[in-house]
Amino acid sequence: MTNYFSSNFKLGILGGGQLGKMLLYNTRKFDIYTCVLESSNEAPCKIACDEFHLGDLMNYDDVYNFGKQVDVLTIEIENVNVNALETLEKEGVKVYPSSKSLKIIQNKAKQKLFYVDNDLPTAPFSRFAYTSEIEEAINHGGLSFPFVWKSAQFGYDGTGVKIVKAIQDLEGLPNVECIAEKLVPFKNELAVIVARNPSGETKTFPVVEMEFHPEANQVEYVICPARIPDDVAKKAEDIALKTSQAFSHVGLLAVEMFQTQDDQILINEVAPRPHNSGHQTIEASYTSQFEQHIRAILNLPLGKTDSKAGGVMVNLVGAEGFSGDVIYENIETIMKMDGVTPHIYGKKQTRPFRKMGHVTIVNEDLGEARRIAEEVKKTIKVISK
Amino acid sequence: MTNYFSSNFKLGILGGGQLGKMLLYNTRKFDIYTCVLESSNEAPCKIACDEFHLGDLMNYDDVYNFGKQVDVLTIEIENVNVNALETLEKEGVKVYPSSKSLKIIQNKAKQKLFYVDNDLPTAPFSRFAYTSEIEEAINHGGLSFPFVWKSAQFGYDGTGVKIVKAIQDLEGLPNVECIAEKLVPFKNELAVIVARNPSGETKTFPVVEMEFHPEANQVEYVICPARIPDDVAKKAEDIALKTSQAFSHVGLLAVEMFQTQDDQILINEVAPRPHNSGHQTIEASYTSQFEQHIRAILNLPLGKTDSKAGGVMVNLVGAEGFSGDVIYENIETIMKMDGVTPHIYGKKQTRPFRKMGHVTIVNEDLGEARRIAEEVKKTIKVISK
């Protein structure tokens, strides 16, 4: 086994954003030499890595030339040039997650087909080469309202997803490869982060519950553990594990799921990396998701995923009506509250619903943590000067 | 109140070592702009700060010119040019800890006199301008064996301290300002870290117990909370608080104490910064000592100091008989153990008793954490290639 702690080993990270930054804290704890590729000199990862490389994550040559210099290559964002990863894998670079996983995950239609092929529960859907084909399907009775339109590629955090209740809702949507998914009424949105290392050791973090902002389609609170019956939690965990195994996934896989009205679990989508639904692990878990990702991709033993305390995460997003140089109003007031830690991402400009940071609330009593989280949410305002 | 989170505020750190590195993780969480002064380009803080400045911490001009560029100046090592700090304070830079605190703490004789002047309990001692004066004091009956010889300046981690049982033990000691302290038999060595912000808000971390290596005079285990009666813990906390107040200290003050055979508490020495006896707070506490230091010096509300779980810290020091390129033998074995996180400092060369890192063990059950800590200690070996 490679001794990562005392060799000339290099870890490469594609993407230099906030997730990368939080990942880097843990590489430094283990004294691992890191190289980051990102297209902007303003990237949060510019400091805290050993080598910062400027380049386009979607450009074959940039990714290939960067990857050739490292021993293990990972990502903090899934929109990267997968063909370059394929070549690198053939040439002996360890790429986690694999190009095979990423190819499936990058395309929502392929992702859905993968679930069906692997007998993993997901909402019924139809795939279309172009949005314009949907109308025809409706006219021929192959599709009925309401449904969820999802762009097959590059959609995240509210872009590339729309609930379609009538034909006019299709207006203005890009004419791209897409899916139309049955709108399933659900009780809860849940997520489980699974870690798996190349030796096949697997661990899951506790099931979390996500409360979404009704307008922005962004997660507002993440609650760990989810306040659901044990048998439902067990079912969600089993499905998440089965998903990770189906991908032969290495690293973290965040599996987002719906808990339906009749307590069925349906997979919504997955993310092959540290995830917003795992930020509370920094303060609440024995092992943070970031440390766990490092342990997994380096084939180290996985850390304990139990919680030390109840955790609630609040996303800090730009307030409506404010754009410009950011101010975190009342941040000092929330720092007085019990077990509250803000994480500020350092973006200089705010705009409505822009993700500017997150706040974690930990407490022995989860109900109390949730109560304080609401107070945090009401108190801090991300506005502009 | 300054809004540190969205201004052009700059924090300066004197010293670029391991403590600084762990401090920087937390400045990044709050997106605080940091400048570090250190004399070596190999410093662990070289990456993760916004600006790295090369310079000598003991040189007036280097410290002054660096300090002029920042708004708040702190330290991660106490051996810095205090005269420069005094000038900076006069010119409006906020220096925490203050030059006044540092002047007293840098000199062990002054430190001891400070305790006496402030009615703080400490072992009886005599001060000598030169070690050579001690023999005369013995001859005149002013001092008797055994006693502890301590160099007044620049002693830490076993250097500058010697137990003197007979006259020949004085041989080879440097002829410097020093103290001779009564050797007090004690049950336990304890420590309390006190945080205090400029507004006077004060919080203490739980009392910890330190087990020293018999030969190297280095801490081997730190156990949090200390396994001592509540009334003894209360006494230690009160004395630590009183010490912090006597200094009007801002930032962290780690107060090391002896618990005597008859349960008296005597102050041994203090460190005005994050301290080895607080490393377990990273994993075990609601707020780590590093986050707390940042909160304190920026006059932010202090974080909760309770523990989420029992914590034991094991120092990783170079094994006897090995010098050269370091190898962490069996590190993967300890990472399999329950709740174990290694922190590797990244020093390339090991030598006997050199501090190379630390390992934290967290567990709901402190006894179990202590048991695992012993297993960690027996398993991992810091050796050379």
The helix (run of H) or strand (run of E) holding residue A362 is strand A355-363
Q: What is the pLDDT of residues A141-164, one digit of tens each?
A: 889 999 999 999 875 455 688 999
Q: What is the number of other CB atoms lying within 10 angstroms of the CB of residue B69?
A: 14
Four-CA torsion A309, A310, A315, A316, nearest 10 degrees: -60
CA dist list (Å): B213 to B280, B317, B353: 18, 11, 10
Rounded CA gap, A239 and A257, in Å?
9
Instruction: Choose among A242, A224, A374: nearest CA to A311.
Output: A224
Could you identify the residue written with the tokens 């080895």? B276
Q: What is the number of other CB atoms lying within 10 angstroms of the CB of residue A116?
A: 12
Rounded CA gap, A135 and A263, in Å?
32
For residue B385, what pLDDT is reported? 87
Option in B31, B291, B346 nearest A346 (CB): B31
Burial class (CB in 10 A: 0-12, 13-18, 19+), B179: buried
Residues of A in contact with B362 (CB under 8 A): 286, 308
Choice between A376 and B173, residue whose per-residue pLDDT is larger: A376
Residues of B in contact with A328 (CB under 8 A): 3, 5-6
Rounded CA gap, B53 and B48, in Å?
13
Contact between chains at A338 and B25 (C-beta distance less than 8 A): no
Residues of A in contact with B359 (CB under 8 A): none
Rg (CA), chain A: 21
Residue of A nearest to B22 (CA): A29
Contact between chains at B304 and A339 (C-beta distance less than 8 A): yes
* Residue B110 assigned as binding residue: no
- Report percent pLDDT > 90 for chain A: 87
In the structure, what pLDDT confidence band is assigned to residue B80 with cuts at 50, 70 and 90? very high
Q: What is the pLDDT of residues B162-199, one digit of tens each?
A: 999 999 999 989 999 999 999 999 999 999 999 999 99
Q: What is the pLDDT of residues A229-258, one digit of tens each?
A: 999 999 999 999 999 999 999 999 999 999
Mean pLDDT rounded to a whole number for chain A: 94
Q: What is the number of other CB atoms lying within 10 angstroms of the CB of residue B222?
A: 27
Q: What is the mean pLDDT of residues A176-202?
A: 95
Residues of B in contact with A3 (CB under 8 A): 327-328, 331
**Contact B381/A42 with Cβ under 8 angstroms?**
no
Q: What is the pLDDT of residues B237-289, one digit of tens each?
A: 999 999 999 999 999 999 999 999 999 999 999 999 999 999 999 999 999 99
Rounded CA gap, B162 and B147, in Å?
9
The strand pair at A310-317 and A355-363 is best described as antiparallel
Residues of B in contact with A380 (CB under 8 A): none
The helix (run of H) or strand (run of E) holding residue A252 is strand A251-260
Q: Determine the distance in angstroms separating the CA of B321 from the nearest CA of chain A, rounded to an integer.
A: 19
Contact between chains at A308 and B303 (C-beta distance less than 8 A): no
For residue B3, what pLDDT is reported? 64
Instruction: Choose among A75, A93, A126: nearest CA to A10.
Output: A93
* Disruptive mutation site among B285, B299, B328, B332 for chain A (greatest number of A CBs within 10 Å): B332
Residues of B in contact with A31 (CB under 8 A): 344-346
The strand pair at B178-182 and B125-128 is best described as antiparallel
* Residue A108 assigned as binding residue: yes
Residues of B in contact with A308 (CB under 8 A): 308-309, 362
For residue A154, what pLDDT is reported? 75
* Residue B182 assigned as binding residue: yes
Contact between chains at B5 and A331 (C-beta distance less than 8 A): yes
Residue A106 has pLDDT above 70, yes or no: yes
SS (H, E, C) chain B: CCCHHHCCCEEEEECCCHHHHHHHHHHHHCCCEEEEEECCCCCHHHCCCCEEEECCCCCHHHHHHHHCCCCEEEECCCCCCHHHHHHHHHCCCEECCCHHHHHHHHEHHHHHHHHHHCCCCECCEEEECCCCHHHHHHHCCCCCCCEEEEECECCCCCCCEEEECCHHHHCCCCCCCEEEEECCCEEEEEEEEEEECCCCCEEECCCEEEEECCCCCCEEEEEECCCCCHHHHHHHHHHHHHHHHHHCCCEEEEEEEEEECCCCEEEEEEECCCCHHHCCHHHHECCCHHHHHHHHHCCCCCCCCCECCEEEEEEEECCCCCCEEEEEECHHHHHCCCCEEEEECCCCEECCCCEEEEEEEEECCHHHHHHHHHHHHHHCEEEEC
Question: What residues contact A229, with CB distance under 8 A and at least 6 apart?
Answer: A263
Residues of B in contact with A50 (CB under 8 A): 47
Contact between chains at B3 and A286 (C-beta distance less than 8 A): no
Q: Determine the distance in angstroms separating the CA of B49 from the nearest CA of chain A, rounded to an integer.
A: 7
For residue B163, what pLDDT is reported? 92
For residue A6, what pLDDT is reported? 65
CA angle B188, B194, B195 (to 5 degrees): 160
Residue A357 has pLDDT above 80, yes or no: yes
Residues of B in contact with A27 (CB under 8 A): none
Residue A1 has pLDDT above 70, yes or no: no
Name beta bridge partners: B307: B285
**Contact A32/A8 with Cβ under 8 angstroms?**
no
Q: What is the pLDDT of residues B104-162, one digit of tens each?
A: 999 999 999 999 999 999 999 999 999 999 999 999 988 999 999 999 987 545 568 89
For residue A155, what pLDDT is reported? 58
Rounded CA gap, A129 and A351, in Å?
33
HSE-CB for A8 with a 13 A CA cutoff: 1
Q: Which fold has domain A124-182?
A: Dna Ligase; domain 1 (3.30.1490)
Tokens of A256: 């987002």
Residue B1 has pLDDT above 80, yes or no: no
Rounded CA gap, B251 and A50, in Å?
30
**Distance between alpha carbon A232 and the CA centroid of its chain, in Å?**
22
Concatenated DSSP letters of A294-339: HHHHTTPPPPP--BSSEEEEEEEEPPTT--EEEEEETHHHHHTSTT
| b/e per residue B334-359 (b: at least 16 CB within 10 A) | bbebebbbbbbbbbeebbebbbbbbb
* Residue B268 assigned as binding residue: yes
Question: What residues contact B92, with CB distance under 8 A and at least 6 apart?
Answer: none
Contact between chains at B301 and A29 (C-beta distance less than 8 A): no
Tell me the residues of B at the A interface, defined by beta carbons under 8 Å apart: 1, 3, 5-6, 21, 24-25, 28-31, 47-50, 283, 286-287, 291, 295, 300-301, 303-304, 308-309, 325-328, 331-332, 335-336, 338-339, 341-346, 362
Q: Hey, where are the domains in chain A?
A: 4-95, 124-182, 186-384
Q: What is the number of other CB atoms lying within 10 angstroms of the CB of residue B75?
A: 23
CA dist list (Å): A175 to A103, A105, A170, A279, B184: 21, 21, 10, 35, 82
Residue of A nearest to B1 (CA): A332
**Contact A202/A305 with Cβ under 8 angstroms?**
no
Q: What is the pLDDT of residues B308-364, one digit of tens each?
A: 999 999 999 999 999 999 999 999 999 999 999 999 998 889 999 899 999 999 999
For residue A385, what pLDDT is reported? 87
**Contact A360/A284 with Cβ under 8 angstroms?**
yes
Q: What is the pLDDT of residues A107-146, one digit of tens each?
A: 999 999 999 999 999 999 999 999 999 999 999 988 999 9
Q: What is the pLDDT of residues A268-326, one digit of tens each?
A: 999 999 999 999 999 999 999 999 999 999 999 999 999 999 999 999 999 999 999 99
Could you identify the residue written with the tokens 């019924």? A124
Residue of A nearest to B325 (CA): A6
Tokens of B211: 């087990």
Burial class (CB in 10 A: 0-12, 13-18, 19+), A175: exposed
Kindly report the CATH class assigned to A186-384.
alpha beta
Tokens of B271: 């460190």
* Residue B36 assigned as binding residue: no
In the structure, what pLDDT confidence band is assigned to residue B6 with cuts at 50, 70 and 90? low
Rounded CA gap, A26 and B269, in Å?
32
Contact between chains at A325 and B6 (C-beta distance less than 8 A): yes
Contact between chains at A295 and B335 (C-beta distance less than 8 A): yes
For residue A86, what pLDDT is reported? 98
Instruction: Choose among A264, A277, A269: nearest CA to A184.
Output: A264
Answer CATH for B4-95 from 3.40.50.20, 3.40.30.160, 3.40.50.300, 3.30.70.1400: 3.40.50.20
Option in A29, A332, A344 nearest B1 (CB): A332
Q: Determine the distance in angstroms separating the CA of B341 from the nearest CA of chain A, rounded to an integer.
A: 8
Rounded CA gap, A222 and A312, in Å?
6
Burial class (CB in 10 A: 0-12, 13-18, 19+), B262: exposed
Contact between chains at B25 and A21 (C-beta distance less than 8 A): no
* Disruptive mutation site among A13, A23, A30, A285 for chain B (greatest number of B CBs within 10 Å): A30
For residue A217, what pLDDT is reported? 66
Residue B24 has pLDDT above 70, yes or no: yes
* Residue A188 assigned as binding residue: no
